[in-house]
Structure 1
């Protein structure tokens, strides 16, 4: 069995053509037998009857090829009248090679080498077209045996020839399609044994067609397909049907698994019985892998959606919701079905703020919107605070065809935020009250402390030399304690006032603040033989009075906590960064124990007793508060016995508090 190129011709048309040709051939045979009878040919009446009754073309020509007589059938083939043909040479109606071949036949007739000559050739019609015929040439001799004329029976085979041309063109198209296709084309017997396979067999399976023909495909089919294929073909035989898009599992020469899509149709014999099948197999392995990967991706996305606390959604350009992830119901208490395929206008009542304005904004800018806050109004007065992010969906022309995004529940954050604001407000009130209390207390304490110091001095003068040694010690203790108490109250008052002071930002050269501060500590610097090095300091926006106090406190701290027998080295340097400046106060003093580093900024926190180092534990607290009011931060590094570095970060654009 092989490819039947003629199968494409309409069955009814093909039958009619075969019947017509069969009838013409029978008539042709009859005419031949009559022409072979010289008596019949030489009978004018009988010949005339033949001319009038024959449905095939009849032409009589003399030895030179001039037309003597024709019938109507021949004239119709050429599309001409009798008068246009009779009397003309046949050379006018055929191509030169055809006329030459006919002339050679005539010479054979004269030489008595043959008594019949048959060949197919086209005639040239009135319109210059070719009309194919099957011509039988017979010689007619006179009584003396001389060639008198040539009698030709012309059978019209134009339809048959056109059908052959059509079939050839069709075969060429089919061959071209098969050649250019990536599918494997095949033919097999009714039992499934392959009888033909296209060249793609080698490309797909790595096997030559000759290796497959005569087999059931065991060389490339997987066992499951090899078992199922004969059963399927038997069912097709029983039902007289083909099969379409059947999944076939195979492997190539490297034993790599393949998935193919196979279709086939039955091939019928002349009696309409199935004699086999022909069809194709298309390798869809890549497509199958892509579909599998896509399915896996969709499953992964679904699991992410299910495990996420975000709700995902999509809308078309209408806009209507086309997708909402299932966790929407858990998020809001509302049903997904109440939103799906509903316009935003219909469901806007569930939102505290109009959703359409955000979609219009996305459409306008053709870009995303982020961190849009809204409140979803659920059943029984439930309010769900949400933040949404969305992007427009664009087609290939950049037109907005929809929207997609995500929404996350921030209700717990909002509740915490409310609690935090409430606590912050309460804390602000309490801090204000504490500052007021500290101010009032420190202000009101100054008067009694002054009285204690004054009366102690008056008592000392009143008693004079009569005071005992122990009494003098008591009086000295009262006076020194009152002085220390007065200084503490003074510093406490300054600390409390700092909370009420407004930061007055001015463009300030820090050298102009630092020089007077160093000058004010000239005595201490000389007494301790300290070396104070000031590097390049920047010009910043700050409150001059507060920064002057900051420098005083830090320099005082560095001069106070020095090591015995070690010359104090104090360095004040600045490093400039893109967004801030870092000022460092470094010394080589006694340092701070690591466990105490976090406590030095706490008010009244002292690391040493007053007998060894003066102070009340307020200076560093004031310094830190000044930095914080300038939107900066202050940190400390220290190593006992090596020194301490205070690092101050001040933004270049200060936002005062």
Structure 2
């Protein structure tokens, strides 16, 4: 057989050359096919990497938004929204610059927004009444997690996306906490570095919540003849990321190698043909050429195992390094600059990374390791640095010595930037927590493992190092024994699902021996498969000063109550003791008038009547002073007061005076307010009495009573057409005993309006008037509206 082949080789050089050409070109075509497949895989991976990078950027934005809405949700659940909304809103927007606005919604109605300036028009807007907004809001409620709606035109102007987190209390939906992100800012951050004029076409598609149609948000045009295309779904906003390589270069990239192999095969066939003519002279050259071809084949077969952008082959024995064409595209250096130049590669490694890279590479080569991998920075030809991951497969000889390494280099700059940005966002959140002065704890309920931050230890005067080792027992050891039972009861309620979160006020032993009060709050965020609590997170807030103030207030209130009781008792006794002689004086003066009526002249009778009238006025003054002194306010007695029934009672009480003055009293429907009925009634008595008293002569008195809503309060108005009051007396008339007229002109003690001011002030409101002499007076006062949901 061998003789026949040898004979064929020498006798038929044309056939021999043709067979060699076909075998060589066939092998070359196989390698070209593999290269083409590798190029397609690489292009597909690049498209997928870009889609995943965009997905990561969106995930980072969603993570930041999730932190913000959970902070708001925490404030809502702990009823601290009114106290901290503006401060927390400012902190969130300052620290998370992607967020432009935060909102809190009661059911579907927007009740709070920050910043308020420029966004006032959204207050009161109900998204559940808007068909389009409603669908996406319902999706957030159904998913029970943060869900992004939009983009759409905002009511306050601009275009944005809205992330809403549904709020539940005891399993019942109550509303949302929400953040708003400007759509163009969102688009800039998500597509940074790729749009426009990049080699990729990128679009974000939106699934319509109503008809499920898919629409383009960036109006990108995708080519039917373009390169690889991929899609990723973002369920948090019903978005689809779509990325396509505009033009595939896979086929073009293999043309040079294909031509090279064709020409090489032709040359090889021709060479074999010549060798058949001159076998002895060219046999050694044929052997070397075949060896080089096999080596080339081996190189390409190993290269297919690499998955990164740059393929390289380092022959340590020959001190030769091959790098693929992507090396020049990625770093900007020509092949001539890097080939056979050991110093070149060392020169482009970042100085801060060089020692570590060299040390780890040496350890890998000197050991029996089969692979090497390292992340570090390298300098591009323009002076900028890239983060890369370098991976290599180490080939060793029979003695175990490394003789060759084949591997790949991948650009991971985008990933590193995303990791850095995420770390920055986490640091901002940490700053927010530290800025509030709260200690934090993380508790594995099943194992007892617990982590605390430094503030938690500082509250009781220690450092974490001093308290080590840390566990749930650390909390138990420092908690007051009398408070542990209550805390455990609250924890059990939370574990059984009776409460959404845990909250307890308790004392802890300070390092200096005193007890400090802390507000302990937490929530279970994960459960075991059998429904047991697993991970619980919470905070400790030092409320010692608050507790001390509460105790001081209690002591002060007790002292005030005691003093008020003594004052009331004294006033009652004093009133009785003062009125008794007055009654005696008045009675005896009236008896004198009757007995000596025929003896006394007109002057004497007039003097007696002056004395009797003065006695009566003094008695009325004592009664008014008693009423003013005994006005008290007990918040526990606050309840719903129907002002319609109160005014009706006052009108019945004053019916005789109304009829005597032929007065008209017009009462519009009045609201329910939160207050104490009896003092409120005295306000209307005094205002209506004054309106009937201070009337112009020969003019029918008209009194109007009506109300208007102002935020959470009602403004109650009592308007008359009487003599009016000069502006300089607007404030003075509310002072006790302040009168603007003589007793002969208009009787009275000057205490009525002082009583009105005291009652309204005790109810947390204010009273004022608008008036002009000769045109009547209008008294206004504010009272808190009654709300079934908040009281």
Q: Report if TM-score (shorter chain) is over 0.5.
A: yes
3-state SS of paired residue (2:619): helix
Asked whether 1:392 is paired with 2:524, we answer yes
Asked whether 1:248 is paired with 2:384, we answer no
Distance 1:396 1:415 in 2: 41
Distance 1:488 1:517 in 2: 20
State whether residues 517 and 543 of structure 2, in contact with CA within 8 Å, keep that contact through their aligned partners in structure 1. Answer: yes
Aligned pairs (5 A) from 1:94-243: 174-178=302-306, 180-182=307-309, 184-187=311-314, 195-201=321-327, 204-205=330-331, 213=339
User: How far does residue 492 in structure 1 lie from its aligned partner after superposition?
Assistant: 3.8
**Who is 1:615 aligned against?**
748
Q: 1:510-561 deviations in whole A, cap 9, x for unaligned?
A: 57535534632235533xxx55322235689999887765543221111233
- Cα distance change on mapping 1:405 and 1:628 into 2, 3 Å: same
Q: Which protein shows a greater Rg?
A: 1
**Who is 1:560 aligned against?**
693
3-state SS of paired residue (1:365): coil
3-state SS of paired residue (1:177): coil
1:520 to 656, 680, 684: 656
1:332 to 460, 468, 479: 460
Distance 1:405 1:568 in 2: 65
2:497 to 355, 365, 375: 365
Unaligned segments of structure 1, at least 5 residues: 1-57, 61-100, 110-120, 122-165
Distance 1:298 1:503 in 2: 46
**Who is 1:451 aligned against?**
584
Distance 2:305 2:377 in 1: 23
Distance 2:699 2:337 in 1: 100
Asked whether 1:289 is paired with 2:417, we answer yes
- Cα distance change on mapping 1:370 and 1:567 into 2, 3 Å: farther
3-state SS of paired residue (2:749): coil
RMSD over equivalenced CA pairs, Å = 5.7
User: How far does residue 614 in structure 1 lie from its aligned partner after superposition?
Assistant: 2.2
3-state SS of paired residue (2:304): helix
Asked whether 1:311 is paired with 2:439, we answer yes
Distance 1:273 1:648 in 2: 92
Distance 1:257 1:546 in 2: 77
Distance 1:624 1:646 in 2: 11
State whether residues 260 and 281 of structure 1, in contact with CA within 8 Å, keep that contact through their aligned partners in structure 2. Answer: yes
**Who is 1:435 aligned against?**
568
Asked whether 1:383 is paired with 2:511, we answer no
More off after superposition, 458-467 vs 422-431: 458-467
Q: 1:42-64 deviations in whole A, cap 9, x for unaligned?
A: xxxxxxxxxxxxxxxx999xxxx
**Who is 2:781 aligned against?**
647
User: How far does residue 259 in structure 1 lie from its aligned partner after superposition?
Assistant: 2.2
Asked whether 1:586 is paired with 2:690, we answer no
Using structure 2 for the length normalisation, give the TM-score: 0.50
Distance 1:652 1:382 in 2: 43
Asked whether 1:407 is paired with 2:521, we answer no
Distance 1:408 1:271 in 2: 66
Distance 2:543 2:401 in 1: 74
3-state SS of paired residue (1:312): strand
User: How far does residue 334 in structure 1 lie from its aligned partner after superposition?
Assistant: 4.6
Q: 1:384-432 deviations in whole A, cap 9, x for unaligned?
A: 1110221224279797432222111111111111110111111111112
**Who is 2:552 aligned against?**
419
Aligned pairs (5 A) from 1:428-577: 428-460=561-593, 475-494=608-627, 509=645, 512-513=648-649, 515-517=651-653, 519-523=655-659, 525-526=661-662, 531-537=664-670, 550-562=683-695, 568-575=701-708
- How many residues get paired? 498
3-state SS of paired residue (1:521): helix
State whether residues 715 and 780 of structure 2, in contact with CA within 8 Å, keep that contact through their aligned partners in structure 1. Answer: no
Distance 1:547 1:420 in 2: 26
Pick 1 or 2: higher relative contact order, CA cutoff 8 A, min separation 6: 2
- Cα distance change on mapping 1:536 and 1:563 into 2, 3 Å: same
User: How far does residue 328 in structure 1 lie from its aligned partner after superposition?
Assistant: 3.5
- Cα distance change on mapping 1:499 and 1:420 into 2, 3 Å: closer
Distance 1:225 1:306 in 2: 36
